Amino acid sequence: MTAVTTNPAAETLEGSSARRARITGGILIALALLVVFVLDVGAGSVATFKLTTARDAVQVGDLVVPGQFNYIAAAIIAFLGARQFLRGGGKWTSLSIGLGLALAVMAFLVWATADKSFNLTGMLQATMVRAIPIALGGLAGVLSERVAVVNIAIEGMLLAGAFTGALLGSVLGSWLGIVGAVAIGGLFGLMLAALVVTYRMDQIIAGVVINLLVLGLTSYVTSQVLAKPEFRHLNNAEVFRSWKIPLLGDIPVIGPMLFNQNIFVYGALILVAVATYYLFHTKGGLRARAVGEHPRAADTLGVDVYRTRYLHVTLAGMVAGFGGAWFTLGSVGRFDENMTNGRGFIGLAAMIFGRWHPVGALMAALIFGFADSLQQKLALLNTPIPSEFLAMAPYLATIVVVAGLIGKARPPAADGQPYVKE
Amino acid sequence: MDVELRGLTKRFGPVVANDNVNLMIRGGEVLGLLGENGAGKSTMMNMLSGLYTPDAGEILIDGKPVRFEGPGDGIAAGIGMVHQHFMLVPVFTVAENVVLGVEPTGRLGYLDLKKARAQVEAINEKYGLHVPADALIENLPVGIQQRVEILKVLFREADVLILDEPTAVLTPQEVEEFFGIVKGLKEAGKAIVFITHKLHEILAISDRISVLRQGRITGEGDPATLDEEKLAEMMVGRHVSFTVKKTPAQPGSEMLRLDRVTLLDDGDDRLLDNVTFTVHSGEIVGIAGVQGNGQTELVEVITGLARQNAGKISFAGDDISTLSVRERHRRGMAHIPEDRHRMGMVDKFTIAENMVLNSYYDEAYAAPFGSVNWNRVHETAAAFCVDFDVRTPSVFLAGGALSGGNQQKMVVARELERQTRLVVASQPTRGVDVGSIEYIHERLVRSRDEGDGVLIVSSELDEIMGLSDRILVMFEGRIVAEFDNTGGKADRNQVGLAMAGATGTETVGGTAA
């Protein structure tokens, strides 16, 4: 008969986190090599980062970084990579790759700016601006996926918001433009809720249908009506200007980024704060999360699952509608066909990256916004890398994030599943 | 509080789930409700909780008729359900789960978790539940999760507690503890309805017993005047024997050997940790354990559905560690999966199609141009149905239309009606009526007597004790104990202790290597 072996000598097994540690180790080493050989600045040159402009009230000296910085960065990245090989795993894996990528980006900036000067504050301000539609899209995603409705339609809701904002903004003024954009976003949210909650349509298909519907409608009206000279005044809204908060706006570097922006930036920051408070510190938020995790349990305790889903998906639509208005009322004042250009999907990636948390989604959106504005500014610096390649950077980052290379995120347990009452 | 059901009737289409049910539930008393799967216990309780509305009859609380329209109405009237499948949000804390739906709040809808925690602690104290208020549900063992369910209904000030198969997920020792809690609740004046199909439990805890069969109350009585045999007869409608008839095992050559098999999950936790054991031809080895201790993964690794991270599996002397599912199957391994709807059958396929899911590609069914010889399939399926007592008017009926017992017999027929050498049966009688249980057990013993090795995994300890020649106990992915059960000599208590993870019980019963 068999003896029972309970505790033989411990042997090492390669599990999935060990494998992930090995892969990130490899990526980090490759990154270090890239920094040393490709981004080699040379010890003699320096990169100058301007922190303030002549017009600013508070003046701060320029940040001058010598070329040796890149060697140090490469050494640290290589160390992190080697550490992953030797005893990686756990939370160090995500932390290491985050730190490594940040250092590589810094090294890249130093390399690109070598012997030139670069307005860092300006780029951070642009980062915030470009992050806003993504953050609002991500927040819309958080609101609907927390009640277990997958919202692919965010792209369409953004586009509808942008269009309505421009049209109503031109006719009735920019403030009513925003109101209209929020309303139309909410309307499409309500439509998605009806399709997936009441009619139990496949959530992905319902979302795609809404996206195509909005794209078709807005493109048709734009090319057939708004493009005609006699209707041009219908697509020419006044743009919201930046409004600088006294004192706070004068803080060097972060002042312009956080406190010298237009209503969309302030609105998004407030919405993220409110959503965080709501989801995690109120009774409504607790019920909403319960509906997303275990709808049957919520139902047996008297929480109306259908009503909760309708409410939150509609709210998500309103948030996305507000984000859509940014494209027209917060930026150029006029609507162009398909001008959201996939930002809604990037918003969904930000939601996953941010682990279904409003603040996480905002942080992820800032990373995407950073990549986006970096590409814009670098075009000015005349780097040898083609700007088309840089334009791909945010999307490459999205693939990396969504593929789960940076740790595993856990969606709400019932995400995507329709709820059928007994 | 007293609750009376008077002439309660509920139909689902042509099926009468409850037929003129009369029942009296009294405060300070435990009412045992006994019935097989599908006898109508759940339907009745769902009417009491407000999930279903009765088609006829009425519910009276303290003599006054009430009408429930929705799931919240039962609890509002003081009737609380503890469901068989827990209704808990795994990523919430105990306190959050308990207050969900009736949250203490401050200004601006602020969720007052501090107050919630204090309220939970107060109930904990009063009934001796000992549940940590701040622990996440997913980190708690099932026994404690069940107490959270009880906390939930007590928090809502329920006076009637309906416990639906509460002991299904507990070890024998946890059942003892659980009975202690039930007695405490009874002494506090609560009315308890204890629903189960386990005879010895209902005799141990109830003050009165009602038996439900095919939607009707078929028997009532005082536990002092009843015994298991009488109850079983009331429950099934005929005389049944719960003891499996079998002769002592004649173990032959080694059929299956697992050698330090380890399986990791995504987070590197060991789902299976150095599992080593053998199954010989001509013996039944039973794997006991509380659900979720690696049994599912063990079966998956043996049958090839999952690939172990380390260790070796041999089948009749050959290393099969890396062989495909089909190859293992071809070599004579039969697999009766734990969840027939998920893995054992296709509900919408006909019985005939279901019967050949593992052999449709055989030469025997080949027809020109790669098509299937359906006539042959239908003949074979009809023969299988006769052989394995699958009661159906035709093999063209959808598999999902059969009763649970007949579905399971269909799966068993498909797996055993061929040359087998090893039978891996996981929860072979879950959700199956007593008659079919008897039959399936008999077939498994017959496989053993024909020289197969048989491995049975079950969370029903009675099933393991009744069938196995040798019992292995799994706890947290490890085999923690082994018992010789020749002639049923293994000690139920010892097995129970091992299931709860108690150490020092290895190789009890004189089978030391």
pLDDT exceeds cutoff 90 at B240: no
* Angle ∠(B291,B342,B49) on CA atoms, nearest 5: 70
Is B470 in contact with B283 (CB distance < 8 Å)?
yes
Stretch 260-279 of chain B: residues touching chain A, C-beta under 8 Å: 260, 262, 264-268, 274, 276-278
B512, A3: Cβ pair inside 8 Å?
yes
Task: Kindly report the nearest CA distance between residue B111 and chain A, in angstroms.
Answer: 4
Phi, psi of A402 (to 5 degrees): -70, -30
- pLDDT band (50, 70, 90) for residue B1: confident
Best mutation target among A1, A92, A311 (most B Cβ atoms within 10 Å) is A1
Task: Kindly report the nearest CA distance between residue A381 and chain B, in angstroms.
Answer: 44
A321/A155 Cα distance (integer angstroms): 10
From A85-89, B105-109, B208-212, the region with the lowest mean pLDDT: A85-89
A283, B105: Cβ pair inside 8 Å?
yes
Is A369 in contact with A130 (CB distance < 8 Å)?
yes
A408, B266: Cβ pair inside 8 Å?
yes
Residue B398 in 3-state DSSP?
A: strand
Q: What does the pLDDT read at residue A90?
A: 64
Q: What does the pLDDT read at residue A404?
A: 61
Q: What does the radius of gyration of chain A's CA atoms come to, in whole angstroms? A: 24
Domains in chain B, start-ordered, CATH in brackets?
A: 3-236 (3.40.50.300), 244-332+420-513 (3.40.50.300), 339-418 (no CATH)
Contacts of A179 (CB under 8 A, 6+ apart): A168
A286, B100: Cβ pair inside 8 Å?
yes
CB-closest option in A13, A290, A298 to B309 = A13
Return the H-helix or E-strand segment holding B440. Answer: helix B434-449
Taking each continuous run of H as one helix and of E as one strand, the counts in chain B are 16, 20
Q: What is the mean pLDDT of residues B422-446?
A: 91
pLDDT exceeds cutoff 90 at B154: yes
Percent of chain A exceeding pLDDT 90 equals 49
A152/A159 Cα distance (integer angstroms): 13
Q: What is the mean pLDDT of residues B195-199?
A: 85
Q: What does the pLDDT read at residue A343?
A: 92
Q: What does the pLDDT read at residue A407?
A: 56
Q: What does the pLDDT read at residue A198?
A: 94
- B509 part of contact set with chain A, CB < 8 Å: no
Q: How confident is the model over A303-347, as pLDDT tens digits?
A: 999 999 999 999 999 999 999 999 999 989 899 999 998 999 999
A289, B92: Cβ pair inside 8 Å?
yes
pLDDT exceeds cutoff 90 at B137: yes
Q: What does the pLDDT read at residue B511?
A: 40
Number of CB atoms found within 10 A of residue A248's CB: 12
Phi, psi of B189 (to 5 degrees): 95, 5
From chain A, the residues in CB contact with B51 under 8 A are 300, 422
Q: Indicate if the alpha-carbon torsion angle A357, A360, A361, A362 is positive or negative.
A: positive
Q: What does the pLDDT read at residue A408?
A: 60
From chain A, the residues in CB contact with B89 under 8 A are 289-290, 293-294, 297-298
Task: Kindly report the nearest CA distance between residue A357 and chain B, in angstroms.
Answer: 14
Comparing CA positions, the residue from A264, A308, A44, A156 lying closest to residue B100 is A308
B408/B182 Cα distance (integer angstroms): 34
From chain A, the residues in CB contact with B277 under 8 A are 2, 4
pLDDT exceeds cutoff 50 at A14: yes
From chain A, the residues in CB contact with B511 under 8 A are 1
A5, B274: Cβ pair inside 8 Å?
yes
Q: What does the pLDDT read at residue A2?
A: 40
Task: Kindly report the nearest CA distance between residue B348 and chain A, in angstroms.
Answer: 20
Q: Retrieve residue A33's tokens.
A: 């090599």
Return the H-helix or E-strand segment holding A258. Answer: helix A254-259
pTM of the model: 0.82
Q: What does the pLDDT read at residue A9?
A: 42
pLDDT exceeds cutoff 90 at A43: no
What sections of A2-119 are H helices per DSSP?
Answer: 16-37, 69-87, 91-113
What sections of A88-153 are H helices per DSSP?
Answer: 91-113, 120-145
ipTM: 0.84
Q: How confident is the model over A385-404, as pLDDT tens digits?
A: 776 777 777 677 667 666 66
Q: What does the pLDDT read at residue B16?
A: 85
Task: Kindly report the nearest CA distance between residue A300 and chain B, in angstroms.
Answer: 6
B111, A285: Cβ pair inside 8 Å?
yes
Q: What does the pLDDT read at residue A88?
A: 66
Contacts of A86 (CB under 8 A, 6+ apart): none
- pLDDT band (50, 70, 90) for residue A267: very high
B431/B231 Cα distance (integer angstroms): 19
The residue of chain B with its CA nearest to that of A11 is B310
Comparing CA positions, the residue from A83, A78, A21, A117 lying closest to residue A380 is A117
Q: What does the pLDDT read at residue A20?
A: 76
Distance of CA B85 to the CA centre of its chain: 10
Phi, psi of A30 (to 5 degrees): -60, -40
pLDDT exceeds cutoff 90 at B487: no
- pLDDT band (50, 70, 90) for residue A1: very low
Q: What does the pLDDT read at residue A4?
A: 46
Q: What does the pLDDT read at residue A134?
A: 96
Report which listed range, A75-89, B260-274, B326-340, is most confident: B326-340
Q: How confident is the model over A53-70, as pLDDT tens digits?
A: 777 777 888 888 888 888
Comparing CA positions, the residue from B431, B409, B438 lying closest to residue B85 is B431
pLDDT exceeds cutoff 70 at A405: no
Is B283 in contact with B485 (CB distance < 8 Å)?
no
Q: What is the mean pLDDT of residues B160-188?
A: 89
Q: Retrieve residue B372's tokens.
A: 């299937």
Q: What does the pLDDT read at residue B381?
A: 95
The residue of chain B with its CA nearest to that of A300 is B71
Is B467 in contact with B286 (CB distance < 8 Å)?
yes
pLDDT exceeds cutoff 90 at B118: yes
Quote helix, strand, coil % in chain A, to nearest 5.
70, 5, 25
Q: What does the pLDDT read at residue A406?
A: 56
Is B361 in contact with B346 (CB distance < 8 Å)?
no
- pLDDT band (50, 70, 90) for residue A192: very high
pLDDT exceeds cutoff 90 at A123: no
Residue B279, by phi and psi: left (phi above 0), alpha (psi -120 to 50) or beta?
A: beta
CB-closest option in A11, A89, A293 to B91 = A293
Q: How confident is the model over B276-308, as pLDDT tens digits?
A: 999 999 999 999 998 889 999 999 999 999 999
Q: What does the pLDDT read at residue B507?
A: 47
Q: Where are the domains of chain A?
A: 16-115, 121-402
Average pLDDT along chain A: 87
Tell me if the domain spanning A121-402 has CATH number 1.10.3470: yes
Residue B45 in 3-state DSSP?
A: helix
Q: What does the pLDDT read at residue B117?
A: 94
The residue of chain A with its CA nearest to that of B107 is A282
The residue of chain A with its CA nearest to that of B256 is A2
Q: Retrieve residue B288's tokens.
A: 């006991």
Q: What does the pLDDT read at residue B508?
A: 44
Q: What does the pLDDT read at residue A3?
A: 41
Q: What is the mean pLDDT of residues B19-34?
A: 92
Which single residue is written with the structure tokens 């929480």?
Answer: A303
CB-closest option in B87, B309, B513 to A2 = B513
Q: Give per-residue burial for B209-225: e unless 16+ CB within 10 Å, then b.
A: bbbbbebbbbbebebee
Residue A420 in 3-state DSSP?
A: coil
What is the DSSP code (8-state) at residue A57? S
